[in-house]
Amino acid sequence: MKYKNVEGFLPLCREEAKMRGWETPDFVYVSGDAYVDHPSFGTAIITRVLASAGYSVAILAQPDYHSSEPFKEYGRPRLGFLVSAGNLDSMVANYTVAKKRRKYDYYSPGGKSGLRPDRAVIVYCNRIREAYGNVPVIIGGLEASLRRFAHYDYWDDAVRNSILVDSGADLLTYGMGENIIIRIASLLDKGIPVGKIHDVRGTVYLTDPDDKLHYESIGGWSADELKSDKKLYAEAFAVQYAENDSIRGHAVVERYRNKILVQNPPMPPLDREELDRVYELPYMRTYHPVYEKEGGVPAIKEVRFSITHNRGCFGGCSFCAIAFHQGRAVRSRSAESIIREAELLTKLPDFKGYIHDVGGPTANFRGPACDKQLKDGVCAGRRCLTPVPCKNLIADHSEYTAILDRVASLPGVKRVFIRSGIRFDYLLADKRNDVFFHRLVENHVSGQLKVAPEHCSDKVLSLMGKPKIAVYDAFRKRFEKICAEIGRKQYLIPYLMSSHPGSTIEDAVELAIYLKKNGCAPDQVQDFYPTPSTASTVMYYTGIDPMTGKSVYTADTAEEKRMQRALLHYNRKENFSLVRKALISVGRDDLIGYGRDCLVPPENNYHGKNNLGTGRNKSVQTSGRSDKPRRRDKNEASRRIARKTRKRNIKH
């Protein structure tokens, strides 16, 4: 036996496959991540779903991609290779927003970087073709899903082909793939050639232009035109986004010279019973033992004692890829299934009594935004929550509150926290919100609650798909009031974003002023990262809001991006120079000085003391209360001593 304690895990090498009696597995799953058998990892879910359907699946995790030999570990699989870059797009996993290579990889053993190639899906597919020629290759996961059409690539600063074209794979699965992969496996098992599988929902394939399509289609843009016409690119994305619905969506077509790329309509989301079955498969809930000597896989730490209760998100944030990947139709697990998982967690040997999260893409969503979505699908032309909540919105936290109460009451559970994001506008839309709000603040916050106002400019927030800042202010004040009522010091940790499309230096100054006025020194600041297939990335590349067709300003120089970020951390001494430069550039040098409203001191006049905030708290802190530091002369010191002497005399 090559590794100890591997019982229960799916094979990670040929020796482990032979232990199960497999000479040739049905599928080999190639992943850019280390193998973690936990339902927060796509590799674990898809392989367990296939295994539960009776297929033998072996895993090739982070193979050496410099040659084809490692891809021959199990021989030629009976039905085909499944390829994924892992839980993240490989370029996001490998590079920061500044395009610098990351030195730490949460999805690799010991956090070691460099084990996953750039553009992992393409590289892995090329190596598989070198090893086995025309073996069936199906690609999926986040990287494939978000790059299924011609897409703007931030790292190339150009529009790239669909990843299906560039990888040479036979079939692409997008979205949440459980039912998709079972359907494909069934057809392959019946002897249907992979090149003939054209009717499965949730798949993308290449075919001849004169082939008859299985679904009514729209689109038909040329990939070459999309690469040269930004207006057309924005229009195409808007259609792709609108059609991403399993009830009313059409097939979407894109032309590649002598081929057409066809995206079939989405596979319907899993219903409650199906989700329960997926999350109750026999996961080992940790990383494979082979990684123990390297300290394990860091990504498991955040999710080891967390529970996923929902999928999909109707929040509609422009910079988020969830809507394009998981979809806007929210589905959730049953309370009974969640309780069973919580009970399982309490029996793990390293459980300390704390459930770290009962969440998902948005923690406080439990079902569709409205009843209409169940019949007609999600609305193509509007968001559910912004600019104001839809009149048909069902805002109800009662089921979620009851689930949290039941989990918290289990033997061995000390506290249940909510760490994945909540939509504060949805919370406020619940007319019974005080019940959940009080429970949230009193029982499910570990001193700090993370929320995402993102900005304070309503113009920028509108482009982000976020509510107006007045909504966040109402939430913040209510949070502080409840904290005072229960006598507990707790803080909001606001997530903020700099340089999002639409944000100018003036908007960044407005945000800095807002932060100072409200005594907030944020740690959580993210530069906008143009990742594939989000509306915000389309704005960044084209200068057009794809949802409205209107022009959008974009901060696309490194200098301006640095200034916008510096303004959000205006109180840090190392940022003073950049903040002064930004303020002068927009005629706001009135904010340079020692006045109550000033953001930074004058150049060459920094005394080591200022009213800019110390940053002692991670979230809320008091603003400065004085102007320029007063110099105390000898007379003042004498008066102070005299006052103390008088007080002593009175006491005696």
Please give the pLDDT value at position 605.
63
Q: Residue 232: what pLDDT?
A: 98
Averaged pLDDT for residues 504-514: 97
In 3D space, the residue among 505, 620, 621 whose CA is nearest the CA of residue 566 turns out to be: 505
pLDDT tens digits, 542-557:
999 999 999 999 998 9
Distance CA 219, CA 542 (A): 19
3-state secondary structure of 318: coil
Pairing assessment for the beta strands 331-332 and 310-311 based on DSSP bridges: antiparallel
| 1 Cβ contact list (under 8 Å, min separation 6) | 15, 19
Which tokens is 432 given? Answer: 């019974």
Helix (H) or strand (E) holding 494: strand 491-498
Tokens of 56: 């033998």
Between CA 70 and CA 62 the distance in angstroms is: 10
Angle at 146 between CA 145 and CA 150, to 5 degrees: 110
621 φ/ψ angles, rounded to the nearest 5 degrees:
-145, 160
What's the pLDDT band for 433 if we cut at 50, 70, 90?
Answer: low
Look at strands 491-498 and 415-416 and give their pairing. Answer: unpaired
Nearest to 386 by CA among 324, 310, 454, 333: 454
Q: Distance between CA 181 and CA 172 in Å, rounded?
A: 10
Looking only at the bridges linking them, the beta strands covering 251-256 and 217-222 are: parallel
268-283 residue pLDDT tens: 999 999 999 999 999 9
Q: Take residue 268 and report the two structure tokens written for it.
A: 């319907």
The helix/strand/coil state of 29 is strand
CA 304 → CA 41, 276, 354, 362, distances in Å?
Answer: 11, 18, 11, 19
- Give, as one character, the DSSP assignment of residue 287: E
> Are 137 and 83 contacting, i.e. CB atoms less than 8 angstroms apart?
yes
279 residue type, one letter: Y
Cβ atoms of 574 and 606 within 8 Å: the answer is no
Among residues 297, 283, 276, which one has the least CA distance to residue 47? 283
Q: Contact 462/536 with Cβ under 8 angstroms? A: no
In this prediction, residue 613 has a pLDDT band, given cuts at 50, 70 and 90, of very low
Largest interatomic CA distance in the chain: 105
In angstroms, the CA 108 to CA 475 distance is 38
- Helix H or strand E segment including 450: strand 448-454
Would you say residue 646 has pLDDT above 80? no
Token readout for 541 is 């590349």
Q: How confident is the model at residue 604, as a pLDDT?
A: 79
Give the rounded percent of residues in the chain with a pLDDT score beyond 90.
87
The three-point CA angle 240-175-157 to 5° equals 55
Res. 262: pLDDT tops 90: yes
In this predicted structure, the answer to whether residue 353 has a pLDDT above a threshold of 60 is yes
Residues 498 and 508: beta-carbon distance below 8 Å: yes
Residue 614, pLDDT above cutoff 90: no
**pLDDT at residue 606, rounded to an integer:** 54
pLDDT at 615: 37
What Å distances lie between residue 95 and 90, 100, 114, 199, 281, CA to CA?
A: 8, 5, 11, 37, 34
**Per-residue pLDDT for 3 more than 70?**
no
639 has a pLDDT exceeding 90: no
330 Rama sector, left if φ>0, alpha if ψ -120 to 50, beta otherwise: beta
Strand 80-84 with 27-31, pairing: parallel
Q: 118: pLDDT confidence band, cut at 50, 70 and 90?
A: very high
Percent of the chain with pLDDT over 70: 92
Helices (H), 396-555: 398-408, 424-429, 433-443, 458-464, 469-486, 505-517, 535-542
* pLDDT digit string, tens, across residues 35-54: 999 999 999 999 999 999 99
Contact present, 441 and 401 (Cβ < 8 Å): no
3-state SS of 192-249? CCHHHCCCCCCEEEEECCCCCCCCCEEEEEEHHHHHHCHHHHHHHHHHHHHCCCCCCC
- Predicted local distance difference test score (pLDDT) of residue 329: 95
Per-residue confidence (pLDDT) for residue 193, from 0 to 100: 98
pLDDT digits (tens, 9 = 90+) for 215-248: 999 999 999 999 999 999 999 999 999 999 999 9
The model's confidence at residue 513, banded by pLDDT at 50, 70 and 90, is very high
Instruction: Please compute the mean of the pLDDT values over residues 5-14 and round it to a whole number.
Output: 93
460-474, 480-494, 499-513, range with the lowest pLDDT: 480-494
Q: Is the pLDDT of residue 400 over 80?
A: yes
pLDDT, residue 360, reads 95
Which tokens sit at 27? 């599928």
pLDDT computed for residue 2 by the predictor:
53
Task: Say if CB 205 and CB 167 are below 8 A apart.
Answer: no
Compute the mean pLDDT over every residue in the chain, rounded to the nearest whole number: 92
Dihedral Cα 43, 49, 55, 60, nearest 10 deg: 10
**Interacting residues of 54 by C-beta distance below 8 A, sequence separation 6+:** none
| CA angle in degrees (0–180, nearest 5) for 234-239-242 | 125
Tens-digit pLDDT profile for residues 58-96: 999 999 999 999 999 999 999 999 999 999 999 999 999
> Residue 368, Cβ neighbours under 10 Å: how many?
21
pLDDT tens column, 355-381: 999 999 999 999 999 999 999 999 998
Q: Is a pLDDT exceeding 60 seen at residue 610?
A: no
**CA–CA gap between residue 165 and residue 261 (Å, rounded):** 8
User: pLDDT digit string (tens) for 411-426?
Assistant: 999 999 999 889 999 9
Q: How far apart are CA 598 and CA 590, in angstroms?
A: 7
| Calpha distance 425→437 (Å, rounded) | 12
Q: Tell me the sheet residues that pair with 260.
A: 207, 255
Summarize the confidence of residues 252-256 as an average pLDDT: 98
Q: Give yes or no for a contact between 118 and 94, defined as CB atoms under 8 angstroms apart.
A: yes
Res 504 pLDDT > 60: yes
Q: In this structure, are residues 59 and 12 in contact, taking their beta carbons and an 8 Å threshold?
A: yes
As a whole number of Å, the end-to-end CA separation of the chain is: 86
Whether the predicted model's global pTM rises above the 0.85 cut: yes
Predicted confidence (pLDDT) at residue 642 exceeds the cutoff of 50: no
Decide if pLDDT at 563 tops 80: yes
Closest by CA to 508, choosing from 560, 464, 575, is 560
pLDDT at 499 over 80: yes
